[in-house]
């Protein structure tokens, strides 16, 4: 650390695997101690231990078919509360003054959208006071509190967002995200062994990758980082090598055509055919779904014919039954149209800023699928991404295929 780094503020987030057992928590404590001893002011954000959150969800399902959303958030927030306390104790054991806080205690204010709340404000006073006393501050990730003081959670993987939002609010220039892989790869290294570690990636590409299924970062954490200019450093909690920096596009020299590829395989497709072709129909469909708290992913509408139209879209598989329920009501009101559902679909996507200036990427993707007999059910594009809906059965193969076709294992990072 150089002279001018002394007393710099850093936010470090440790994910579930990184705090998965007592030994790992001790390792995290030693790493944090290292920074603290070098003069950094350290704010640590932690996730629940290992698969605790999954376990809590299962527990809720055992007592209620449709658990109350408020109580669900109350339950899930307990996972992180265990980790913060244990990490504080582990730091005390190695002689570091540390204090743990829940989201409510440091006033991480969110909207009232249980299980998928958005952070609206953070009052940094409590943390700043403790930091000024030389203490390491440990904050529970994934949770906040709404204006009525209900505990809320930020959506699965949301501790990343807690960390980056805290970094932004506290004016930290960097937020380290410690996880169980060495950084951001061209695709999930646990699915494609040839995946290549990237040294840097732009905010926009990372945002697309995260929204399209690269679970290594919660997509809202990248939104915060971009908005407030926080550099995210994704790295391994198991060793000390550098990972991947998520930075503004200007800081990336080489603009690759395709930077990364993703696979989402927990989605379903719903198609509404022969529905009326007139103003207000799409509005009705998607307002109904929004009222039931259902998030829509891809939407494709065809050109109407004979005053009839078709709209297809994707939802998370867990939401398919409640979507069907809402839409059956709409179809009844219209008195026309039918619904078909493909429960098991996959969405494969390619992302790269180079697509802005180069054509032909879509054709290469479609050709690769055609050669392997993979049928494309829906296509969606943006300036820097192309996504295809295919049968879930071909998902893994399609991901590998795209990784090969775009030469991702060979290109320089």
What character string, x for contact with ligand ADP (CB under 6 A) and - otherwise, covers 103-142? ----------------------------------------
Among 18, 100, 110, 159, binds ligand ASP (CB under 6 A): 159
Which residue's CB is nearer to Mg ion, number 156 or number 255? 156
Residue 157 interacts with ligand ASP (CB under 6 A): yes or no: yes
The residue with tokens 């006073």 is 125
Q: Is 190 in the site for ligand ADP (CB under 6 A)?
A: yes
Q: Say if CB 310 and CB 301 are below 8 A apart.
A: yes
What one-character-per-residue DSSP string does 106-160 give?
A: TTEEE-S-TTS--EEEE--HHHHHHHHTTPEEEEETTEEE-TT--EEE--TTTHH
Spatial neighbors of 155 by CB under 8 A, at least 6 apart, are 115, 116, 117, 161, 218, 220
- Does the protein bind ligand ASP through residue 79 (CB under 6 A)? yes
**Which lies closer to Mg ion via its Cβ, residue 15 or residue 213?**
15
Q: How far is Cα 388 from Cα 376, in angstroms, rounded to an integer?
A: 6
Which tokens sit at 313?
């879209």
Shortest distance, position 265 Cβ to ligand ASP, whole Å: 18
List the single partner that 150 binds among Mg ion, ligand ADP, ligand ASP, none, CB under 5 to 8 Å by kind: none
Q: Is residue 79 near Mg ion by the rule CB under 5 A?
A: no
When binding is defined by CB under 6 A, the residue of 18, 47, 100, 310 that contacts ligand ASP is 47
Does residue 204 belong to the site contacting ligand ADP (CB under 6 A)? no
Which partner in ligand ADP, Mg ion, ligand ASP, none is near 352 (CB below 5 to 8 A by kind)?
none
Closer to ligand ASP by CB, 99 or 164: give it: 164
> Does 349 participate in binding ligand ADP (rule CB under 6 A)?
no
- Supply the DSSP symbol for 271: E
State the minimum distance, in angstroms, from the CB of residue 198 to ligand ADP: 8
Beta strands in 242-369 (DSSP E): 244-247, 260-276, 296-301, 308-316, 338-351
In Å, how far from its chain's centre is CA 13?
A: 14
CA pair distance 257, 266, nearest whole angstrom: 27
Binding at 181: pick from ligand ADP, Mg ion, ligand ASP, none (beta carbon under 5-8 Å per type): ligand ADP
Site for Mg ion in 327-366 (CB under 5 A): none
Helix axes of 219-228 and 203-211: crossing angle, nearest 10 degrees? 160
* Closest to ligand ADP by CB, 215 or 413: 215
352 binds ligand ADP (CB under 6 A): no
Contact (CB, 8 A) for 182 and 243? yes
Calpha distance 74→145 (Å, rounded): 10
Cα–Cα distance, 205 to 56 (Å, whole number): 33
Contact set with Mg ion (CB under 5 A): 15, 157
Residue ranges in contact with ligand ASP by CB under 6 A: 15-16, 47-48, 53, 79, 141-142, 156-159
Contact positions toward ligand ADP, by CB under 6 A?
Answer: 15-18, 47, 157, 179-181, 184-185, 187-190, 214-216, 260
């Amino acid at each position: 650390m150089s002279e001018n780094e002394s007393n710099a503020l850093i936010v470090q987030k440790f994910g579930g695997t990184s705090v998965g057992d007592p030994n790992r928590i001790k390792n995290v404590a030693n790493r944090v101690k290292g920074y603290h001893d070098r003069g950094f002011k350290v704010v640590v954000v932690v996730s629940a231990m290992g698969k605790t959150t999954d376990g809590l969800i299962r527990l809720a399902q055992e007592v209620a078919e449709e658990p109350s959303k408020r109580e669900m958030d109350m339950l899930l927030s307990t996972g992180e509360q265990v980790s913060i306390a244990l990490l504080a104790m582990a730091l005390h054991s190695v002689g570091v003054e540390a204090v743990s806080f829940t989201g409510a205690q440091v006033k991480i204010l969110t909207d009232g959208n249980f299980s998928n709340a958005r952070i609206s404000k953070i009052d940094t006073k409590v943390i700043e006071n403790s930091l000024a006393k030389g203490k390491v501050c440990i904050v529970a990730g994934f949770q906040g509190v709404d204006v009525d003081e209900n505990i809320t959670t930020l959506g699965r993987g949301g501790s990343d967002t807690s960390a980056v939002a805290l970094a932004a609010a506290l004016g930290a220039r960097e937020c380290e995200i410690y996880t169980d892989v060495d950084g951001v790869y061209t695709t999930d290294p646990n699915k494609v062994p040839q995946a290549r570690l990237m040294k840097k990636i732009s905010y926009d590409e990372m945002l697309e990758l995260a929204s399209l299924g690269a679970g290594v970062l919660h997509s809202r954490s990248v939104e915060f980082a971009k908005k407030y200019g926080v550099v995210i450093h994704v790295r391994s909690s198991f060793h000390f090598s550098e990972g991947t920096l998520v930075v503004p596009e200007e800081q990336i020299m080489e603009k690759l055509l395709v930077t990364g590829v993703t696979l989402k395989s927990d989605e379903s497709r719903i198609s509404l055919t022969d529905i009326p072709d007139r103003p207000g129909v799409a509005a009705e469909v998607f307002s109904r779904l929004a009222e039931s708290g259902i998030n829509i992913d891809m939407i494709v509408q065809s050109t109407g014919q004979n005053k009839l139209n078709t709209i297809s879209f994707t939802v998370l598989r867990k939401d398919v039954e409640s979507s069907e329920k809402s839409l059956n009501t709409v179809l009844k009101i219209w008195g026309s149209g039918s619904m078909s559902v493909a429960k098991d679909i996959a969405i494969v996507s390619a992302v790269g800023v180079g697509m802005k200036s180069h054509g032909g990427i879509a054709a290469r993707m479609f050709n690769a699928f055609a050669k392997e007999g993979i049928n494309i059910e829906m296509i969606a594009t943006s300036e820097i991404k192309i996504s295809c809906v295919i049968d879930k059965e071909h998902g893994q193969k399609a991901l590998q295929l795209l990784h090969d076709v775009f030469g991702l294992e060979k290109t320089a990072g």
